[in-house]
Structure 1
Amino acid sequence: MSTEHQRYSTENQADAIKRYADERGYQIIRTYSDAGKSGLRIQGRAGLTQLIADIEAGQTAFKTVLVYDVSRWGRFQDADESAYYEYACKRAGISVEYCAEQFENDGSTMSTVVKGLKRAMAGEYSRELSQKVFAGQSRLIELGYRQGGAPGFGLRRMLIDEAGNMKGILSRGEHKSIQTDRVTLVPGPDDEIAVVNQIFRYFVRDGQSEAEIAANLNAKGVKTDLDRDWTPSVVRQLLSNEKYIGNNIWNRNSFKLKKRHVRNDPNNWVRAVGAFEAIVSADLFEAARAIISSRSQRLSDEAMLEGLKETLEQHGFLSGFVINEAATLPSSGAYQNRFGSLLRAYSLVGFKPDRDYRYIEINKRLRGMHSDIIRDTVSGVEAVGGKVDRDLQSDILTINGEFTVSIVIVRCMQTGAGAFRWNIRLDTGRLPDMTIVVRMGQMNELPLDYYLLPTFDMTRPKLRLAENNGLSLDAYRFDDLSHFFEMAARAPLLEVA
């Protein structure tokens, strides 16, 4: 099931299947489920994949598979795909029965025709739903509402209720909690707006490059909206984003029906002009865009590839991050637009990546964060009167001489289906009493939340977290470490008495 808001919740399906089994004298000995998963592709469907793998390997103690209805195999765009998985069961001598269908799956002509029709209907349902969702999202964009993402330096997210009344500014990491509420962008603090305009003036009037602007801002101690140093790519993104002149842009990229990621032509972008209050004049923005456009158009394919080759020789590898940080190169997006993809541009300069080098930069950043988070944790415990002993070799913290804590930072990864996952490896060697899992956000820039996992309750050394994990794991989830600090607090004896 893909969402909780439907009759296909796993609980409802399980109840219906159990009633069916009881009526026919079946004993359910194993359940395969894919909670919160899209049925458009087999990728990410761990339950279905395991079922087929067990059946094909002959590692089954059952003779019948009970399925809620025909569409539960998946809403594949190729109707033959769901038929294939049913056939894989039958080929291994295992029958398939549908618990909520009005026909018996007995191999008759009627059941075959009905199943084929229902498989096609399941795929068509997804296509129609995709079109409706796209139309709805496009409408919200045209009305000036934000469809996710950080607001950016100089801007803030304003929460609006169903009647259009402003409810307040959303802080970093906060999200709306009511489905009918909307989010729009409003100007941020005056000092940030002044910096944004100064960046445009540096670029347009003073002729400074993105690298020079970033160096100037860092020298002045100005931080980005993510509280980090400025880089040329961050400056370039700011100079080219139309939200600073009040335009709401959406559908630059799409991933419809889980088929493939597509960089859409600008003519297909959904655009709402003047949706937000502008903080940069249109003339200044257009002047900056003209400079960026002329700079990229002036370079021939040969010149772009020659610059890419020089960067490869300098760094030994290429990635989108390396390209964006190179002051002499166009953006990675320019290479994608010119050559169709970064991989094709790589191949033209003789580079074949054997891994995604973005992870190198992300891991480097997370390693740098680890000591900062340990320092902040120690400071938080000491602030509430607790005592911390730190093992400098293992970074295990002993709190008040009573329990030990390990801190793990977990990178956010995106699956091929577009979902976000976090892989946790617990410290089974030293066995701390508790592991603080710092789960990073989608951009791996800031912590998303924290899990306080007691070793006693963890039965596996590795965990794979989704965005929502059910009560068994999310009961340990917290937005910050204040709960942990309360555990470490020391109370005066008179107060206890």
Structure 2
Amino acid sequence: MVKKGVIAGVWLRSSPTHRYGLSVDDQKNEIEKMAYRDGVKIVKYWTDSDSGEIHPDKNRYFLTMKENIRKDPGFIKILYVYDKARFGLVDSAGEIRINEFFAKNNIELKYLNERLIPVGAICRRSTDMQEASLDVQMDSILEYATKDNCEVRKWWLFGEEKGQSGVSIERCQDWKNMLDELKNSMYSIERILVDDVSRIGRTSPNRKIYIQELFKEYKAPIYYINAPFKDDGSLEDGVMQFVRHGEAFQSSKEKSKNVKTRSLVYARKGFWLAGNIYAYKRLVLDEHGNPFVTNGKNLILEKKQSKQVKTQRIKLIPGNSEEIKVVRRVYAMYNDDDIGFYTIAARLNAEEIPAARGGTWTPTVVRSLLTNEIYVGTSHYNRQTTDIWSGITTKVPKEEQVKVENAHEGIISKELFFAVQEKIKKNSNRFKTGHHPNTLKDTPKFPLIGTIFCLDCQRRYASAWAVRKSNRRGKYVQAYYKDTSRRTFGKKVCPNSISLRKDDIDALVMNRIKERLMSGVIIQKVKNELKKKLDSLVSSKKTDGSKIKIEAELNEIESKIENLLNVIARKGMSNQVIDKIQTELDQLISKKKIVEKNLGNIESSDTVCVDINKLTEKIMDNYKKVIDKLENGQFSSQRRIVRELIHSIAVSPTKKVIYIAYYDLPEDIVTDMHLDGSAIPEPLYNRVGPINIKEEFYMGCIQIDEHMYEDVKPLTCFKL
């Protein structure tokens, strides 16, 4: 019973994770009504309406309240709180700490609602055109939560910025993040509210039921608030669930089929169905095929923008004049000037001309532009199809493809386009583009790929090769490692970059590896490590488990035989029963003999002596033979040895020096290496982007091998 005239304080906090939920004003009104009925005077409000912090120990407003109470513990006797959820995500231990704090300061905690069920909510919008879809779902969930005494602690909104397909929802990163959060119990949620079965995807019924069971495993079962079933485990309820999930799945398949059919109809009429194309603009047409006018101008769609009315259509028209000049220039450079993909990309990057998507030009982007039929006015659809449920992509037969010539105005002549295609086809026999040489037959292999980089530009070296002809040598392959910045950006990024002849640098590194592996110190370390492993292998009692199991089986058989003999000794049984028992007894005796034989084999194998020293010498002989043949060995063996023994090969173009960093031996995990107390960074072949390793790393921690390049022949490597 609260005494009248007591002074109280109030803790107010809005819903922690979303703008929807119980507001601060609603809490305040309810608390003031209770305080009035109790005859209590409220003198202090602590309000958190904007922090979004869900942990009380990190909430600055909550910490301020605790500090005020510590300084003047007697100025309030009661603290009104709407419910326990207002303190945030608190486990049982945290709740005890909060109660102890207020009890220590002689303050009574008074809750209007003792407990609201903490829940999460999933909402999904399929397309951008369903603008009100999320709001409708959220209002429906909030209405249900209010009636069922729930508080929505977390909203997962899929398709908030851009529509999210129900078929692919499980592949999106937000869905995976949600599962991780539920698995780790980040929000202490007891159930998940969903408006309808289709909102968590339109996959097969079996898949949907699996998702439901997965959520149950995470202790957050799904509640469909507008579904005619309750997931109570009954047969009728299970059948109803399967039917409703099947209806959503079938509806999605039918819609997908209808959309594809209509799209191909519009494609045959010359309308554009895809996104942005470099050097083109997307003009919106009305249902009569006329330009759609808004604010006195034709409506042109910007990047990532889509039409808002289903009856509207899109037509491609020539776009930015500067981009059109770039396209025509690329075709002219390749066809007339006989310049390749890499050089074209390097020149465009050197002039700081932005690529199609605002990035840098690469050989792949250049090749894609040169082979795109769009630039001669031809639209080509339905060349391949991807099953959205299995993710498998298959080619569509030519007779089912849709190819429309003169669908829009071309910016390249057909004669020039086809001449470029013939040239690309001809050059493809000479330059192997689009394939890594290590995956092709009868091509040079590059065992050092992923380990070489330039110290000046911090870029990785890549493979480069071509088939050449000369009067003296005839047909031959020229192969080398080349700085990727030089190959893609030209001399602008790394003007002093040096290329390495493949044969020279491979032979040099393999010889260094061979010398290292055959050195007396390494041989002894490998030998000692091998002995340790053989000792542990021989001394380990690997047969103990099998022996115990067989002995137990033998004891069980003997016990059964003894029981059967006791049964046969009894009188009064018919001959038929005795014959049946005798047959079973014979089978057990035969089985016993087999088990005893197996047990004898195991016991004899345990007594076999292994000469570890002799076995070690034999293995070391094979080790030396493999090392001797390293230079001419299989590519897979060379590649494996390089990755296990060499951390990196750094090229300093300005000093014309190479640094080779080795791992210490022998170890199983190379990323755990330490030299001179300094940790070696992660292997380069696992890196993406710049390497970010400085020359001091090699000078201070790693043994250095230096090699000089002749100025006259920068591709040939010479040892000092």
Q: TM-score, normalised by structure 2?
A: 0.38
Q: 1:30 to 1:13 in 2, by over 3 A?
A: same
Q: Retained in 1: the 8 A contact 2:284–2:312?
A: yes
Residue number in structure 1 paired with 2:317 = 186
Residue number in structure 1 paired with 2:290 = 165
Is 1:285 paired with 2:412? no
5 Å-filtered alignment, 1:98-247, equals 98-153=224-279, 155-166=280-291, 167=293, 168=298, 170=300, 173=303, 175=305, 178-179=308-309, 180-188=311-319, 196-197=327-328, 199-213=330-344, 232-247=363-378
Structure 2 Cα separation of the partners of residues 136 and 287 of structure 1: 35
TM-aligned CA deviation for residue 149 of structure 1: 3.6
Structure 2 Cα separation of the partners of residues 270 and 240 of structure 1: 18
Q: Retained in 1: the 8 A contact 2:379–2:404?
A: yes
Structure 2 Cα separation of the partners of residues 218 and 51 of structure 1: 42
Q: 1:59 to 1:294 in 2, by over 3 A?
A: same
Of the three residues 295, 307, 310, the one matched with 2:427 is 295
Q: 1:115 to 1:360 in 2, by over 3 A?
A: farther
What amino acid is the match of 1:138? L
Q: 1:239 to 1:223 in 2, by over 3 A?
A: same
Q: 1:94 to 1:144 in 2, by over 3 A?
A: closer
Structure 2 Cα separation of the partners of residues 145 and 194 of structure 1: 25
What amino acid is the match of 1:117? V
Residue number in structure 2 paired with 1:13 = 137
TM-aligned CA deviation for residue 113 of structure 1: 0.7
Structure 1 Cα separation of the partners of residues 350 and 228 of structure 2: 72
Could you say what secondary structure the match of 1:291 adopts?
helix
5 Å-filtered alignment, 1:37-52, equals 37-40=164-167, 41-44=169-172, 46=174, 50=178
Is 1:309 paired with 2:434? no
5 Å-filtered alignment, 1:356-395, equals 357=688
Q: TM-score, normalised by structure 1?
A: 0.53
Q: Retained in 1: the 8 A contact 2:378–2:408?
A: yes
Structure 1 Cα separation of the partners of residues 355 and 430 of structure 2: 30
Q: 1:163 to 1:51 in 2, by over 3 A?
A: same
Structure 1 Cα separation of the partners of residues 637 and 267 of structure 2: 38
1:276-299 Cα shifts (integer Å, max 9, x gaps): 122222222111111212332566
Residue number in structure 1 paired with 2:588 = none
1:141-193 Cα shifts (integer Å, max 9, x gaps): 3332333443324x444343332223547486484554344332223577765
Residue number in structure 2 paired with 1:342 = none
1:371-430 Cα shifts (integer Å, max 9, x gaps): xxxxxxxxxxxxxxxxxxxxxxxxxxxxxxxxxxxxxxxxxxxxxxxxxxxxxxxxxxxx
Q: 1:108 to 1:45 in 2, by over 3 A?
A: farther
Could you say what secondary structure the match of 1:28 adopts?
strand
Structure 2 Cα separation of the partners of residues 7 and 157 of structure 1: 23
Q: 1:96 to 1:360 in 2, by over 3 A?
A: same
Residue number in structure 2 paired with 1:28 = 151
What amino acid is the match of 2:157? D
1:15-46 Cα shifts (integer Å, max 9, x gaps): 334444555x4333534433314433434374
TM-aligned CA deviation for residue 228 of structure 1: 7.8
Is 1:276 paired with 2:408? yes
What amino acid is the match of 1:13? Q
Residue number in structure 2 paired with 1:260 = 391
1:45-69 Cα shifts (integer Å, max 9, x gaps): 747864785478597464x554433
Residue number in structure 2 paired with 1:470 = none
Could you say what secondary structure the match of 2:157 adopts?
coil
Structure 2 Cα separation of the partners of residues 19 and 228 of structure 1: 47
Structure 1 Cα separation of the partners of residues 431 and 262 of structure 2: 40
Q: Retained in 1: the 8 A contact 2:284–2:307?
A: no
Residue number in structure 1 paired with 2:30 = none
**Unmatched tracts of structure 1, length 5 or more:** 328-345, 364-497
Q: 1:310 to 1:178 in 2, by over 3 A?
A: same
Q: 1:162 to 1:105 in 2, by over 3 A?
A: same
Could you say what secondary structure the match of 2:170 adopts?
coil
Q: 1:19 to 1:51 in 2, by over 3 A?
A: farther
Structure 2 Cα separation of the partners of residues 22 and 284 of structure 1: 69
TM-aligned CA deviation for residue 247 of structure 1: 0.6
Structure 1 Cα separation of the partners of residues 448 and 331 of structure 2: 27
Q: Retained in 2: the 8 A contact 1:76–1:82?
A: yes
Q: 1:173 to 1:57 in 2, by over 3 A?
A: closer
Q: Retained in 2: the 8 A contact 1:214–1:235?
A: yes
RMSD value, Cα: 5.0
**Unmatched tracts of structure 2, length 5 or more:** 1-123, 454-459, 464-482, 491-634, 644-683, 693-720
Of the three residues 206, 213, 216, the one matched with 1:80 is 206
Residue number in structure 1 paired with 2:195 = 68
Structure 2 Cα separation of the partners of residues 30 and 227 of structure 1: 40
1:445-477 Cα shifts (integer Å, max 9, x gaps): xxxxxxxxxxxxxxxxxxxxxxxxxxxxxxxxx
Could you say what secondary structure the match of 1:271 adopts?
strand
Q: 1:310 to 1:243 in 2, by over 3 A?
A: farther
Q: Retained in 1: the 8 A contact 2:229–2:241?
A: no
1:240-259 Cα shifts (integer Å, max 9, x gaps): 11111111134566654265
Structure 2 Cα separation of the partners of residues 106 and 229 of structure 1: 57
Q: Retained in 1: the 8 A contact 2:158–2:174?
A: no
Could you say what secondary structure the match of 1:121 adopts?
helix
Q: Retained in 2: the 8 A contact 1:34–1:47?
A: no
Identity %: 25
Structure 2 Cα separation of the partners of residues 31 and 157 of structure 1: 39
Structure 2 Cα separation of the partners of residues 132 and 67 of structure 1: 27
Structure 1 Cα separation of the partners of residues 348 and 220 of structure 2: 67
Q: Bigger radius of gyration, 1 or 2?
A: 2
Could you say what secondary structure the match of 1:14 adopts?
helix
Structure 2 Cα separation of the partners of residues 141 and 255 of structure 1: 18
Q: 1:245 to 1:257 in 2, by over 3 A?
A: same
Q: Retained in 2: the 8 A contact 1:126–1:257?
A: no
What amino acid is the match of 2:263? Q
What amino acid is the match of 1:162? E
TM-aligned CA deviation for residue 99 of structure 1: 2.1
Q: 1:280 to 1:318 in 2, by over 3 A?
A: same
Is 1:2 paired with 2:125? yes
Structure 1 Cα separation of the partners of residues 273 and 333 of structure 2: 31
